[in-house]
Structure 1
Amino acid sequence: MTEIKDNHHLESKLRKDLGLVSALSLVVGMVLGAGAFMKPPAVLEVTGSYNYALLAWIIGGLFSICGGLTLCELGVMFPQTGGLFVYLEKIYGPKIAHLYGWMITIIFAPSLVGALVGYFSSVFCLLFDIQTNYSMVISVGVLGFIAFINSSGVKYAGYVQTVATICKLIPILLLTIFGLWKGNGHVALFGSNAQGLASTAPFAVAILATLFAYDGWAQVASVAGEINKPSKILPKAIIIGITFLVVVYACINLALFKIFSVKEMVGLGHDASAIASQRLFGHFGGNLVAVGIMISILGGINGYIMTLSRTIFSMGERGNIIGAKFLSTIDEDSRSPVNAILLLTVFAFLYSTLLDADRLSEISMFSIWIFYLLTFVGVIIARKKYPNVARPYKVIAYPVIPLIAILGAIYVIYGMLVYQTFNGIVSIILTLIGLPLYFYYTNKHPHNSSSLGMIKKYKIKTPVRVIVGCLFIMLLLTLYVRYTL
């Protein structure tokens, strides 16, 4: 019988202070964001009709609920900092955990941030009537700003996140309420789909698009060990929280459907929400709502750079990645992983210049859901591998809920491989490249004890150094892409 070796005894003594309201706030706060404004046209384009678009949002929410309920059993079993990395390491061993961290570093983090930057640039160009040719300049500016904030310290990044969280609720409420109230009635649900568009994409691709909007529920599992009475609070928080989000997303879609026809909404793409606000509130009022949308997206960029740069830093600290010593350096003044922030920022910019935001979001979701699938299966494995470990929370309706999560993950992965075969295969290959790197660095440093991290005092103030470095590298990339591709 296998027992859990707890090398993080202090983490097991974390205070269990999170109640239902806190857990609900975490679910809604992490999930609700840019996807609410940017994904409705993409989902509608794939499905071709209002009815199937709404169905995709509902099924995506169902998969997320089942995934969240499943994942949280591991969160209670392994109440340690690291989330999925820890679960995969405990169940499958260090190699799979390393592949997850490598995938986050090279695919998920830069793709996700790059998608958000693309969405931000789209709304910015529309708001200020700027040609989309200058979107790369806007991307440089927003990434440089967020890199500057995060390299100054987590406290300042936290301020930005708080403001963005408050601001994002305003455009969501305004678009939903006034869109449903004053929309001109294009929507014709449960009737003829005569206004629909022909689509050759599998329905799974539409669900995958909605999962970008729902992403963030997995973060609840990382604090499962700090929730009071998790067996009661966790299922309530996930079910109520994501069900609330399904209703919110459905209402936003219905509001947009009442403003635009199918063809018009699909044609507007990322600009649909901003233009809808202009039609509802006039040019000035619409622009204010568009600013709210931009702040919401900015908060998403800031939040993901703040959290995912720490994952990249952790990978560097373990020593099994290229440039490990560089990536695991913390600045003495700000105590931020400045080099990890720099790497993520530059890669996100490069990805955003090479691929469309919707494609990047699909690639990021495809990559992460492969590992979600492993963790869903891991819950079943853990029941056999760790039978005597205390489980204050067990998945309700086991094994039905985990099986729904597993089948849902397989379905969306299949959809991506069928519809975006090249991108899917490239994502898998890039992930598997991490395996020979793991063996190389493990053999090179067989006694490495995760001690590569260091605190360094830089001659130039960190924020200045980071922003200048980001701007310089992104300027070179801009010139290269513009004149060679």
Structure 2
Amino acid sequence: MKQQKQVSLDRDLGLWSALSLVIGTIIGAGVFVRQSAVLDDAGSTTMGLLAWLAGGILTITAGLTIAEIASQMPETGGLYVYMEKIYGRIWGFLSGWMQIIIYGPAMIASLGAYLAILLSDFFGFPSRYNALIAIGTIILVGILNLFSNRYGATFAIITTLCKLVPVAALIIFGLFFGKQGALGQSISEVHQSAGNFGVAILATLFAFDGWILIANLGGEIKNPRKLLPQAITFGILAVLAIYLLVSYGVYRAIPAGKIHSMGTETIQVIATTAFGNIGGKILSIGIIISIVGCMNGKIMTFPRIMYAMAKRNQLPFSKTLAYLHPKSHTPIFSTIAELIIVAIMIIFSNADRLSELCIFTVYCFYVMAFVGVFLLRKRNPNQHRVFSTPFFPITPIIAIFGSLFVIVSEIASDLPGVLTSFIFVAVGVPVFYYETKKHGIVEAKNEDAPIEEDDDQSDSSSVKGQN
């Protein structure tokens, strides 16, 4: 049988598609269900708003730092590629391994599980069908991403616009019809059991997580050296503005004590109070769409890491996983493999717990990537940068300390989970060396500077089919 003709990823995602993916991948259910948790830990509405602002600022500094690296390495794989080129193949592999085997599938499975609960409540399905509903929904979104990336990108734009409707309704109601003072309300009854401002910031950082996933599509974005930094920067800024406005609106609409007592039902109470039972239903639809959009972004981006690793022959069945469909130009087998892992997690494990365990490891790699900005500048002092991190070196230093804060907080609060996350990563070490030896790949001692590539040609190496 003749080998397949040269096939490459389609580089046809523009700024609006990239922006929608950034916003849609970040905004899931967090802004709707974490209002009470952040307020409880912060202790007052003023400190709650400051916690959301601090989390957003830390995320922006992280995004601006990564944007400089992304502008130099506009390739499919994102963080995996950055780690490989800055620190060497083994570190790149381990960052990718953690994302495709545990973190990515766990995040998708968690979204699916929560979405199934909402769908069951909305339509009155028995809870025993939740696992089937979660898997079915994930498969439907996954099928969409087996076609050209234009369909996934278009779906991201539609869901992002749809999810902004209930967000706008909450903001408008709170700002113009709320009767509470948004600032200065305290929660005296929970002061003794409340956490602290640092824990509140930590809760918001988890709600901001997902901003870096657009970098996994670096090989499919038009003029990525320019558009990728723009999408990351403006996307995070938009989410920060949305989170602050929603939180302010919530504090205006309901007294702080009631927000504490209602917990994750706070937003539902506001919608029902403002718009009646129909309003509550409409908000539920908005949250469902929000989660589906977030899920779509993750299903679209995480398989690209697997594809990029398979192209380098670093995974079992690399030849199959690196296959691109000749018509859709998408990594269909990597997408299917990721969906299978997700389904297994939904059936046999607690996906929420697994995703929590991997937060520590993700932030360890974030810190290394942020430090990488300094290393790249030192190695290539004269290199032209399409995008440079503003206020360097202050911005990456803030990003580094923000990530270290998450790491230290995780160690202090969940040491067994931290040790478990190390095990997940360690399992990848023998896999890496086995595949490296199998394919005769020589480990480079130092992956120096980013490889300059033409925007229209990067990541267009051929992927051949099976004989």
> Which band: TM-score by shorter chain?
0.7 to 0.9
Once the two structures are superposed, residues 376-412 of structure 1 have per-residue CA deviations (whole angstroms, 9 ceiling, x without a partner) of 1011111222222222333222222111111111001
Closer/same/farther in 2, CA of residues 152 and 401 from structure 1, 3 Å limit: closer
Q: C-alpha distance in 2, partners of 1:182/1:208?
A: 30
Displacement of 1:48: 5.0
2:69 alignment partner in structure 1? 74
Matched, 1:316 2:313: no
Displacement of 1:131: 4.9
Displacement of 1:217: 3.6
Q: C-alpha distance in 2, partners of 1:118/1:205?
A: 25
Is this contact kept in 1: 2:315–2:431, CA < 8 A?
yes
Q: Which stretch of structure 1 is more off in the superposition, 427-436 or 45-54?
A: 45-54
Instruction: Give percent identity, aligned residues only.
Output: 33
1:251 alignment partner in structure 2? 245
Aligned match for 1:208, one of 202, 208, 223: 202
Q: For residue 75 of structure 2, give the secondary structure of its aligned residue in structure 1.
A: coil
Is this contact kept in 1: 2:102–2:355, CA < 8 A?
no
Q: C-alpha distance in 2, partners of 1:262/1:388?
A: 54
Once the two structures are superposed, residues 253-295 of structure 1 have per-residue CA deviations (whole angstroms, 9 ceiling, x without a partner) of 2333344555654565554434432232111232122112211
> Which consecutive residues of structure 2, in runs of 5 or more, have no partner in the other structure?
1-7, 444-458
Aligned match for 1:385, one of 361, 379, 387: 379
Displacement of 1:27: 5.4
Closer/same/farther in 2, CA of residues 49 and 71 from structure 1, 3 Å limit: same
Q: Which stretch of structure 1 is more off in the superposition, 214-223 or 73-82?
A: 214-223
Q: C-alpha distance in 2, partners of 1:268/1:452?
A: 55
Q: C-alpha distance in 2, partners of 1:257/1:43?
A: 12
Q: For residue 80 of structure 1, give the secondary structure of its aligned residue in structure 2.
A: coil
Once the two structures are superposed, residues 35-91 of structure 1 have per-residue CA deviations (whole angstroms, 9 ceiling, x without a partner) of 322332343454454344323211111111111221222223333343322222221
Is this contact kept in 2: 1:50–1:196, CA < 8 A?
no
Closer/same/farther in 2, CA of residues 334 and 116 from structure 1, 3 Å limit: same
State the one-letter code of the partner of 2:406: V
1:288 alignment partner in structure 2? 282
2:223 alignment partner in structure 1? 226
Q: C-alpha distance in 1, partners of 2:21/2:332?
A: 26
1:464 alignment partner in structure 2? none
Matched, 1:421 2:418: no
Matched, 1:90 2:82: no
Q: For residue 277 of structure 1, give the secondary structure of its aligned residue in structure 2.
A: helix
Displacement of 1:153: 4.4
Once the two structures are superposed, residues 338-357 of structure 1 have per-residue CA deviations (whole angstroms, 9 ceiling, x without a partner) of 33222322322443453364
Matched, 1:366 2:350: no
Displacement of 1:373: 0.8
Q: C-alpha distance in 1, partners of 2:140/2:214?
A: 28
Q: C-alpha distance in 1, partners of 2:311/2:150?
A: 23
Displacement of 1:454: 4.6
Is this contact kept in 1: 2:45–2:186, CA < 8 A?
no
Is this contact kept in 2: 1:111–1:363, CA < 8 A?
no
1:60 alignment partner in structure 2? 55
1:122 alignment partner in structure 2? 117
Q: C-alpha distance in 1, partners of 2:63/2:329?
A: 32
Once the two structures are superposed, residues 156-201 of structure 1 have per-residue CA deviations (whole angstroms, 9 ceiling, x without a partner) of 333432321221111110111113333463x663254314354475
Once the two structures are superposed, residues 437-465 of structure 1 have per-residue CA deviations (whole angstroms, 9 ceiling, x without a partner) of 111111122159999955479xxxxxxxx
Q: C-alpha distance in 2, partners of 1:162/1:181?
A: 28
Aligned match for 1:336, one of 330, 335, 340: 330
> Which consecutive residues of structure 1, in runs of 5 or more, have no partner in the other structure?
1-9, 458-485
Matched, 1:443 2:440: no
Q: C-alpha distance in 2, partners of 1:264/1:343?
A: 45
**TM-score normalised by structure 2 residue count:** 0.80
Is this contact kept in 2: 1:324–1:452, CA < 8 A?
no
Closer/same/farther in 2, CA of residues 145 and 272 from structure 1, 3 Å limit: farther
Q: C-alpha distance in 2, partners of 1:425/1:392?
A: 40
Is this contact kept in 2: 1:48–1:198, CA < 8 A?
no
Q: C-alpha distance in 1, partners of 2:462/2:157?
A: 33
Q: C-alpha distance in 2, partners of 1:205/1:192?
A: 17
Aligned match for 1:194, one of 188, 202, 205: 188
Once the two structures are superposed, residues 67-116 of structure 1 have per-residue CA deviations (whole angstroms, 9 ceiling, x without a partner) of 12212222233333433222222211111111111011112211221222
Is this contact kept in 1: 2:24–2:159, CA < 8 A?
no
- Higher RCO by CA contacts (8 Å cutoff, separation 6 or greater): 2
State the one-letter code of the partner of 2:362: I
Closer/same/farther in 2, CA of residues 162 and 225 from structure 1, 3 Å limit: closer
Closer/same/farther in 2, CA of residues 173 and 188 from structure 1, 3 Å limit: closer
Q: Which stretch of structure 1 is more off in the superposition, 410-419 or 39-48?
A: 39-48
Matched, 1:305 2:299: yes
Aligned match for 1:406, one of 397, 400, 413: 400
Q: C-alpha distance in 2, partners of 1:306/1:273?
A: 29
Displacement of 1:423: 2.2
Q: Which stretch of structure 1 is more off in the superposition, 437-446 or 124-133?
A: 124-133
Is this contact kept in 2: 1:24–1:238, CA < 8 A?
yes
Aligned match for 1:376, one of 364, 370, 380: 370
Closer/same/farther in 2, CA of residues 293 and 59 from structure 1, 3 Å limit: same
Q: Which stretch of structure 1 is more off in the superposition, 391-400 or 123-132?
A: 123-132
Closer/same/farther in 2, CA of residues 227 and 304 from structure 1, 3 Å limit: closer
